[in-house]
A and B are shown apart, each in its own frame.
Chain A
Amino acid sequence: MTRPRTLYEKVWDEHIVCQPAGSAPLLYIDLHLVHEVTSPQAFDGLRAAGRKVRQPKRTVATVDHNIPTEPRGTPIVDLIAAAQIAALQRNCKEFGIPLFDMDSPDQGIVHIIGPELGLTQPGMTIVCGDSHTSTHGALGSLAFGIGTSEVEHVLATQCLPQRKPKSMLIQVNGRLPEGVSAKDLALGIIGKIGTDGATGHVIEYAGEAVRGLSLEGRMTLCNMSIEAGARAGMVAPDETTFAYVRGRRFAPRAEAWEQAVERWRRLASDPGAHYDRVVELDAATLAPFVTWGTNPGMVVAVDEHVPELGDWKTEAERSTAQRMLEYMDLRPGTPIEKISVDRVFIGSCTNSRIEDLRAAAKVVKGHRVNPKVRALVVPGSQMVKQAAEQEGLHKIFSEAGFEWRESGCSMCLGMNPDILQPGERCASTSNRNFEGRQGRGGRTHLVSPMMAAAAAVAGHFTDIRKWRFHP
């Protein structure tokens, strides 16, 4: 009998092209997602070396990072951003790569449209010049972010020399309590293991709480694997996965579908498979979380308070915390619910799918955005936007006083005009609260879509478990 293997090992083994002596194994890449920011230098490299794109059909491009979320057709006033978008258009044309451009009904954040179009499938290897590529692991693919040199490498060879990362199981027992979402689970995990807790590892998320998540919830969870330092995050494909993929544009059909599902069923980790590390978590201990510091590991429950400096053991930790508190303009011991916000951002590859917007709309319905707050909803893709509009979600948001925008990365990283002003405090459904991430001097608190929506209405953080929902 063969040795029991994990999901990750099965996908890894399947994609080894060869193991050259004295080199790292060559891993074949099934799908390469490309966007405007991390690709221009890679295409220049190809041209300089006289190389072609080996598999244009395994390569898909879109624009997401620096595009405005104003109505499409509004001229892009940032000329450098416009030049970068134009470069992607030129490069895709020259190298024969399909591009979901600004005016495409399929445009969206690269990690939203991959699964949405059925490009992302279980068992695949997927890369993109973006750290949140880990999102795609929710379908049981091995998906990780790469730099521009590696983008060029994959364009030219469809392979990457890769040292094999270690494996890590995160087992979440029990069910998520009411008001606790996939985002809170992700934040809870990072809070527990730290922002380098999974460095050098591929995480597999398992257990009842993970099985109980929708596919979109699993994407939120896998998306933030990188915030724990992980190379990738994965969830074994199951009926939830197959139901999600079925019928999507690039998904297999008819007989090919049946064969694919049969193959995908075999991907789940074998009983007794070995992991280099195992972390267990009890879902009942989780709460709606809010980050207070300048990395995603600085997490507390909404009914707690900003940590006291005495909570840290070493002088180095204290001085780091002190620095964060100064940047965030927070006093130790402040109750989280007493922190008021100036801005609310609902969007990003972490939380801008239709279920996220539904969850936020449910909170907002029948309420008004606090007059001191400017709130933004940025759907992850044109397809999400259209679906939301069909359900009337845009009306709920607009009538409450949210701005309803076009799809893109937007204020998650503020490469486009959607940025915080210095000193502004934001409840954000995105993934990073780094200094200046959403705009120089801006202060970001990471939360779930429900918590962000509630903060927009209340004008401060508030416990979603006590929210008054209007039917």
Chain B
Amino acid sequence: MRAFRVHTGKVAPLDRVNVDTDQIIPKQFLKRIERTGFGEFLFYDWRRSADGSMNAAFVLNQPQYAGAGILVAGKNFGCGSSREHAVWALEDFGFRAVIAPSFADIFSNNCGKNGVLTVVLREGEVAELMRRAQAAGYSLTVDLEKKQVRDDQGFSASFALDDFTRHCLLNGLDDIGLTLQHEKEIAAYEARMNG
């Protein structure tokens, strides 16, 4: 997994609540057996009109947000299906972090396994970032080492993240490898249960 320490980048504001994983990546793109190449299908039905042409009004199609590495969204982001393809699509599109007032549990877990940071900020802070991100070229720093989000115009907010997820993200760790270090305990548990 790619490590996440500090990222500074452009911010795309997606001012919607309850963005579900069906929107992040629609079902017709879940049939592929690869883990890569999902970026072009991100928010497919919002980015494209029914005839397949680009919908210029959608935030990610606006030139000022091209290359954004940070997505700011409303509460309960990533609700619905467990499809990790949603995270693969965000990551492949270029997002390193998503900031929202809350995230759905499975989505948030999936992000943590793919080097994508979910940052929970207060409603008011998220609203302020949405507002600031209207300005062309607005850039933000997400600092996992300090657990802080800041810009160069005086915005600063701290966020919480559990120590284990943070440790794995900071070091880009394969957590299967970590679990396998407990082979003895797992075997002992299995022996006890199969008694």
Whether A432 pairs with B80 at a CB distance below 8 angstroms is yes
CB of B105 within 8 Å of the partner chain: yes
Does residue A66 face the partner (Cβ distance < 8 Å to B)?
yes
Q: Mark B106-118, 1 if CB is under 8 A from A, else 0.
A: 1001100110000
Interface size class of A (residues with CB under 8 A): 35 or more
Partner of A80, one of B31, B104, B114, B189: B31
Complex CA gap A150/B179 in Å reads 12
Selected interface stretch from A152-160, A176-184, A459-467: A152-160
Q: A355: CB under 8 A from chain B?
A: no
Q: Are A435 and B105 in contact (CB under 8 A)?
A: no
Q: Are B163 and A22 in contact (CB under 8 A)?
A: yes
Say whether B182 contacts A156, CB under 8 Å.
Answer: no
Closest to A316 in B: B17
**Residue-by-residue, is B2-39 near A (CB-CB < 8 Å gives 1, otherwise 0)?**
00000000000000111010110011101111110000
Q: Chain B: which residue is nearest A43 at the CB level?
A: B33
Give Cα A200–Cα B190 distance, bound, in whole angstroms. Answer: 28
- Cβ distance A27 to chain B, nearest Cβ, rounded Å: 10
Asked whether A149 lies within 8 Å of B105 as measured between CB atoms, the reply is no
Given known contacts A22-B167, A152-B176, A435 and B23 CB-to-CB distance under 8 angstroms = yes
B178 to chain A, nearest CB (A): 7
Which residue from A37, A44, A441 sits with its C-beta under 8 Å from B31?
A37
Instruction: Select from chain B the residue with minimum beta-carbon distance to A17.
Output: B189
Q: C-beta contact mask, A310-331 vs B, less than 8 Å → 1, else 0? A: 0000001000100000000000
Identify the interface centre among B18, B75, B163: most chain A CB within 10 Å of its CB: B18
CB of A199 within 8 A of CB of B45, answer no
Tell me which of A153, A295, A414 contacts B18 (CB under 8 A): A295
- Give the distance to chain A from B24, nearest Cβ to Cβ, in Å: 11
Which of B75, B83, B176 has the most CB atoms of chain A within a 10 A radius of its CB? Answer: B176
Q: Could you tell me the distance between the alpha carbons of A435 and B79 in the complex, rounded to whole angstroms?
A: 13
| A415-B31, A435-B23 known; A18-B182 Cβ under 8 A | yes
Task: Report B136-195 residues with CB < 8 Å from chain A CB.
Answer: 162-164, 167, 174-176, 178-180, 182, 185-186, 189-190, 193
Docked pose: A38 CA to B83 CA in angstroms = 7
- Report the Cα distance A149→B27, complex, angstroms: 19
Given contacts A147-B87, A165-B105, A200-B105, contact A18 B33 (CB under 8 A): no
B114 A149 Cβ-Cβ under 8 A: yes
> Would A436 and B45 count as touching, CB distance under 8 A?
yes
Q: Are A78 and B179 in contact (CB under 8 A)?
A: no
Q: Does A288 count as interface, using CB distance less than 8 angstroms?
A: no
Q: Is A220 an interface residue (CB 8 A)?
A: no
Distance (Å) between the CB of B88 and the closest chain A CB? 8
Interface stretch of the complex, out of A81-89, A96-104, A366-374: A81-89
Chain A interface mostly helix, strand, loop or mixed?
A: loop
Give bound CA distance, A149 to B104, whole Å: 17
Q: Is the CB of A199 within 8 A of B31?
A: no
Instruction: Give the shortest distance, in Å, between A50 (CB) and chain B (any CB).
Output: 12
* Chain B residue nearest in CB terms to A432: B80
Q: Which of B17, B28, B114 is packed against the most chain A CB atoms within 10 Å?
A: B28
Q: Is the CB of A320 within 8 A of B82?
A: no
CA distance A54 to B180 in the complex (A): 11
Q: Of A20, A159, A231, A437, which is within 8 A of B105 by CB? A: A231
CB distance from B30 to the nearest CB of A (A): 5
B176 touches A147 (CB 8 A): no
User: In the assembly, what is the distance between CA of A202 and CA of B185, in Å?
Assistant: 26
> Is B81 engaged at the interface, CB distance under 8 Å to the other chain?
yes
B50–A199 touching, CB < 8 Å: no
- Assuming the contacts A18-B185, A150-B113, asked whether A414 and B27 have C-beta atoms less than 8 A apart, the reply is yes
* Cα separation A199 to B79 with both chains bound (whole Å): 10
Can you list 29 pairs linking A and B with CB atoms under 8 Å apart? A17-B186, A18-B185, A18-B189, A22-B163, A49-B176, A66-B30, A83-B31, A87-B33, A146-B106, A147-B83, A147-B106, A148-B35, A149-B84, A150-B113, A156-B179, A157-B179, A158-B186, A159-B179, A159-B186, A161-B179, A196-B18, A196-B79, A199-B76, A413-B81, A415-B27, A415-B28, A415-B31, A432-B22, A436-B26
Q: Which 5 A-B pairs have the closest CB atoms?
A: A149-B113, A147-B84, A147-B110, A40-B33, A196-B76
Additional pairs, 5, CB under 8 Å, beyond known A41-B34, A157-B180, A195-B76: A26-B186, A148-B35, A152-B176, A161-B175, A437-B27
Residues of B within 8 A of A (CB): 16-18, 20, 22-23, 26-28, 30-35, 45, 50, 75-76, 79-84, 87, 102, 104-106, 109-110, 113-114, 162-164, 167, 174-176, 178-180, 182, 185-186, 189-190, 193
